[in-house]
Copies of this chain bind each other. A is one copy, B any other.
Amino acid sequence: MSPARTTAGAPISSIGRGIAVLGCFNERRRALTLSELSEKSLLPMSSTHRVVAELVTGGFLVRGSDRRYRIGTRVWSIGQLAPVSDQLRHRALPTLARLYEETGENITLAVLDRGQALYVDRIGGERSVHTASRAGGHLPLHTTGVGKVLLAWQSPEAIEKYLSRPLSRTTPYSIVDPVKLKTELNETKTRGYAIARQESTAGNGSVAVPILRGGRCVAALGVVAHLTHMDIPRLVDVLQQAADSIRKELEDDH
């Protein structure tokens, strides 16, 4: 029998296979059949079947009456213990709520995660525009305000590495030229905040500022709004105050 390896050829551990199966799920695909899991995880059906059964036993997957698998409650429960939820999210929440009251626009908080912007929280409602971001979801680093901030405050090497890979185009306004993006990132870091104009969603723009701790950018705070009613100077002002307030909150205890 051939050893444990993906079709790509790289050997992979049993635990890696389990994680690969769990990683098949995303916002678009929250309920998957066994075949779909087998296809996406690149594992043979029989292997997928066994891995899935073990994940179900452990409470990491649940099988619905529709024969589809969904992420189990236990993953959610354990995930609540992650520092990003337990520390950042909880401490920032009151400030995010206040920002929303002040602006009436969508407020987003994101961190860098595996080369993408991970949305830790999003506060907003019918009063504001519809956005692509969603708590727990990922978006590219070069098409949103928070993404640009997270990238701009990275080390030059990390930035180069990001620029070396092809940049996805989400809208016609997305900056996909590495040279232009590099200039944009430099400007962002110099002026202290990022702006995105219809680079992620048509009609929407965003402004974002970093939350800095010890020189490192631990998160980015942003506002998403219709380009037409975006008072940038005012938004930058309230955002920077809020970022400062979150930073202090984080410093308070450890």
Chain A residues with CB under 8 Å of chain B are: 13-19, 22-23, 25-27, 30, 51, 54-55, 57-60, 62, 70-86, 111, 113-114, 118, 135-138
Contact = CB atoms under 8 A, between A and B. Distances in A.
A145 to B, nearest CB: 20
Contacts of A25: 78, 81
Given A54-B13, A78-B79, A81-B27, A73 B111 contact: yes
Given A14-B14, A16-B58, A51-B15, A136 B80 contact: yes
A31 to B, nearest CB: 9
Nearest to A21: B15
30 contacts: A13-B54, A14-B14, A15-B15, A16-B54, A16-B58, A18-B18, A27-B81, A30-B83, A70-B82, A70-B83, A71-B79, A71-B82, A71-B83, A73-B82, A74-B113, A75-B79, A75-B82, A76-B79, A76-B80, A76-B85, A76-B136, A77-B113, A77-B118, A77-B138, A78-B79, A78-B136, A79-B80, A79-B136, A80-B135, A85-B136
Contacts of A81: 25-27, 30, 70-71, 136
Given A72-B82, A77-B79, A77-B137, 13 more contacts: A13-B54, A15-B54, A22-B78, A23-B78, A27-B81, A30-B81, A73-B84, A75-B75, A75-B78, A76-B80, A76-B85, A78-B79, A80-B137
